[in-house]
Amino acid sequence: MPVLLAPDQAPTLHELLAEANTVGLDCKPVDTRNESVPRIQGLGSLTSAGSTEISFLSNPKLRNQLDGCAAAAVIMTDADYQSLEARDHSYCIVLCSQPYLMYALLAQWFDQRRVSRLETGIHPTAIIAPTAHVADGVSIGPYCVIEEGVRIGQGSRLGAHCVIGTNVVLGNDCLLHARVTLYHNVTVGDRAILHSGSVFGADGFGFAPDPHNAAGAWAKIAQIGGVILGNDVEIGANTTVDRGALENTVVGNGVKLDNQIMIGHNVKIGDHTAMAACVGVAGSTIIGQRCTIAGAAMLSGHLVLGDDVHVSGGTAVTSNISTPGRYTGVYPFAEHSQWQRNAAVLSQLAQLRRRLRAVEKTHSNQ
């Protein structure tokens, strides 16, 4: 962790666990070899945590990293603890049935210390239209522009240079990092986290052929729908979610989108679906709940994916998927000259099959 709390601001282990464990996980120190567990100044991996930091073991395959671990305390499951047997260790052990979730909670706790030191309030350079309604406790950074009819819920924080278009509704406790753009008539639920450079409500890509103008010319279809983001959504840097053509583009509750993702107009994404970076979803596609779409996957338009569908990285999904499961379609890479040989045959596959059939026929006739 690049930044450690100062010693006088660091909690004791018990204080830390009590404050961070907001979801009531089972989590208790069991083996405090060292009576004086130091105050916990930070959080680190097993290999990097120092003697005033807490660490965690969430993957049994990494048990061997416990050997040289210099952390003050390590969170692990009972099974991992048993595996330690009599092995020597200097760290205190914290038993928890879900060390990875506990790690997430601890990281939130430490990050919150940093966030709480940030300035709050409305910066004097923010431009807020007279008809905008900004609730109590909202922070608005320098050079933000809040247009007419906007509503911002309590506790929300906007970084520098955000532009919030007319009639946007932003829920409570949202965090917009610097330089987020919301076009007009976008609605965002509570606790959204929107990263820098993300754009919501740009026009969907809709054009009608317009031969009256010129051969091949296109007439713009003005996009008069909106965008609705649910609660607990997080959207990565430079991701774009286009507005609907006539109705709304909808991102469900708890959806997590990584960086540089493109969501086309009229798309609907079900609750708790997560997408890794560089995914593209073309217009009007409907994605179910609890799906995962791995990095750089591409979904064609007007498709329907059911719930619990998992698409592998780089896969082009070109037809509906109704059955839960994992789906893949990526060309296996190889050393270049080997690829050349195989790829050359690939373009003759249909012919190859015909030749095989011919051979098979000869056989069956023999």
Site for a copy of itself in 44-103 (CB under 8 A): 44-45, 48, 98, 100-101, 103
| Residue (1 or 95) nearer to a copy of itself, CB | 1
Query: Minimal distance in Å, beta carbon 341 to a copy of itself?
Result: 4
For residue 40, give every residue at least 6 positions away whose Cβ sits within 8 Å of its Cβ, in sequence order, or none.
Answer: 10, 11, 12, 13, 16, 52, 53, 54, 72, 73
Residues in 282-321 that interact with a copy of itself by CB under 8 A: 282, 289-290, 295-296, 298, 300-301, 311-318
Among 6, 116, 363, 365, binds a copy of itself (CB under 8 A): 363
Q: How far is the CB of 301 from a copy of itself (least distance, A)?
A: 8
Residue 135: which of 150, 124, 145, 123 has the closest Cα? 150
State how far the Cα of 270 lies from the Cα of 286, in Å rounded to an integer. Answer: 8
Site map for a copy of itself, 12-31, x if CB under 8 A? -----------xxx------
**DSSP character string of 102-144:** HHHHHHHHHHHHHHTTS--SB-TT-EE-TT-EE-TT-EE-TT-
Residue with smaller CB distance to a copy of itself, 31 or 70: 70
φ/ψ of residue 208, rounded to 5: -110, 140
Show contacts with a copy of itself in window 219-258 (CB under 8 A): 219-226, 232, 234, 236-238, 240, 242, 245-248, 254, 256, 258
Task: Using the minimum distance from each CB to a copy of itself, give the nearer residue, 32 or 155.
Answer: 155
Q: Please state the closest distance from residue 210 (CB atom) to a copy of itself, in A.
A: 6
Cα–Cα distance, 330 to 313 (Å, whole number): 8
Check 161, 184, 265, 310 and give the catalytic one. 265
HSE (side-chain half, CA atoms, 13 Å) at 113:
19
CB of 257 to a copy of itself, least distance (A): 9
Among 8, 88, 116, 332, binds a copy of itself (CB under 8 A): 332
Residue nearer to a copy of itself on the CB measure, 28 or 218? 218
Beta carbons of 27 and 108 less than 8 angstroms apart: no
Among 64, 136, 333, 365, binds a copy of itself (CB under 8 A): 333
How many CB atoms are closer than 10 A to CB 289?
17
Of the pair 32, 101, the CB lying nearest a copy of itself is at 101
The nearer residue to a copy of itself, 32 or 45, going by C-beta atoms, is 45
Residues 100-129 that bind a copy of itself (CB under 8 A): 100-101, 103-105, 107-108, 110-112, 114, 118, 125, 127
| 86 or 344: CB nearest a copy of itself | 344
265 assigned to active site: yes
| Region from 8-16, 30-38, 76-84, 347-355 binding a copy of itself, contact rule CB under 8 A | 347-355
CB of 31 to a copy of itself, least distance (A): 23
* Spatial separation of the C-alpha atoms in residues 163 and 284, rounded to whole Å: 26
Candidate residues 35, 36, 61, 344; the one interacting with a copy of itself per rule CB under 8 A: 344
How big is the chain by its Cα radius of gyration, in Å?
27
At CA 338, angle to CA 333 and CA 344, rounded to 5? 95
Which residues, 267 to 286, sit near a copy of itself by CB under 8 A? Answer: 271-272, 274, 276-278, 280, 282
3-class secondary-structure state, position 19 = helix
Q: Which residue of 197, 286, 304, 306 would you call a contact of a copy of itself, by CB under 8 A? A: 197
| Degrees, nearest 5: CA angle 145-146-151 | 160
Cα gap 300→246, rounded to integer Å: 20
Cβ neighbour number for residue 321 with a 10 Å cutoff: 19
| DSSP, residue by residue, 248-317 | -EEE-TT-EE-TT-EE-TT-EE-TT-EE-TT-EE-TT-EE-TT-EE-TT-EE-TT-EE-TTEEE-TT-EE
Q: Which of residues 145-174 bind a copy of itself (CB under 8 A)?
A: 145, 159-161, 163, 165-167
Catalytically active residues are 265
